[in-house]
Amino acid sequence: MLNFESDYLEGAHPQILRNLLNKNMEKLTGYGEDFYTKQAIKKIKKTINNSNTKIIFLCGGTQTNLIVIGSVLKPFEGVIAADSGHINTLEAGAIEATGHKVLTLKNSNGKIAPEELDIYLSNFFNDQNNSFKVFPGMVFISHPTELGTLYTKSELQQIHNICSNYNITLYLDGARLGYGLMSDNTDVTIEDIAKYTDIFYIGGTKVGALIGEALVFTTKKIDSLVTRVKQFGALLAKGRLLGIQFDTLFTENLYFNISKHAIQMANLLKKGLIEKGLKLYIDSYTNQQFVIMDENRYKRSKEYIKSFYWCRHDEDFVVARLVTSWATKEEDVFELLNVI
Considering only residues 250-289, where is the footprint of a copy of itself by CB under 8 A? none
Closest distance of CB 46 from a copy of itself, Å: 26
Q: Applying CB under 8 A, does 311 fall inside the site for a copy of itself?
A: no
- Cα→Cα distances 122→65, 70, 103, 115, 143, Å: 26, 25, 15, 10, 25
Q: Which of 40, 41, 56, 67 binds a copy of itself (CB under 8 A)?
A: 67
Q: Where are the beta strands (DSSP E) in 22-112?
A: 54-58, 77-82, 102-105
Q: Which of 106, 230, 271, 302 binds a copy of itself (CB under 8 A)?
A: 230
Q: How far apart are alpha carbons 140 and 146 in whole angstroms?
A: 12
Scanning 100-108, 192-200, 278-286, 291-299 for contacts with a copy of itself by CB under 8 A, the matching segment is: 100-108
Q: Applying CB under 8 A, does 321 fall inside the site for a copy of itself?
A: no
Q: Applying CB under 8 A, does 59 fall inside the site for a copy of itself?
A: yes
Q: Applying CB under 8 A, does 214 fall inside the site for a copy of itself?
A: no
Q: Which of 161, 126, 140 is nearest to 87 (CA)?
A: 140
Where does residue 35 fall: left (phi above 0), alpha (psi -120 to 50 degrees), or beta otherwise? alpha
Which CB, 155 or 247, lies closer to a copy of itself?
247
Which CB, 79 or 156, lies closer to a copy of itself?
79
Q: Which of 52, 75, 296, 303 binds a copy of itself (CB under 8 A)?
A: 75
Q: Applying CB under 8 A, does 23 fall inside the site for a copy of itself?
A: yes
Q: Which residues pair with 320 in a beta bridge?
A: 291, 309
Q: Applying CB under 8 A, does 124 fall inside the site for a copy of itself?
A: no
Which CB, 60 or 272, lies closer to a copy of itself?
60
Scanning 5-13, 105-113, 260-268, 276-284 for contacts with a copy of itself by CB under 8 A, the matching segment is: 5-13
Q: How far apart are alpha carbons 37 and 44 in whole angstroms?
A: 11
- Cα→Cα distances 42→35, 51, 59, 170, Å: 11, 8, 19, 23
Q: How far apart are alpha carbons 152 and 212 in whole angstroms?
A: 26
CA angle in degrees (0–180, nearest 5) for 4-83-71: 95
Closest distance of CB 251 from a copy of itself, Å: 18
List the interface residues with a copy of itself, window 152-181 (CB under 8 A).
Answer: none
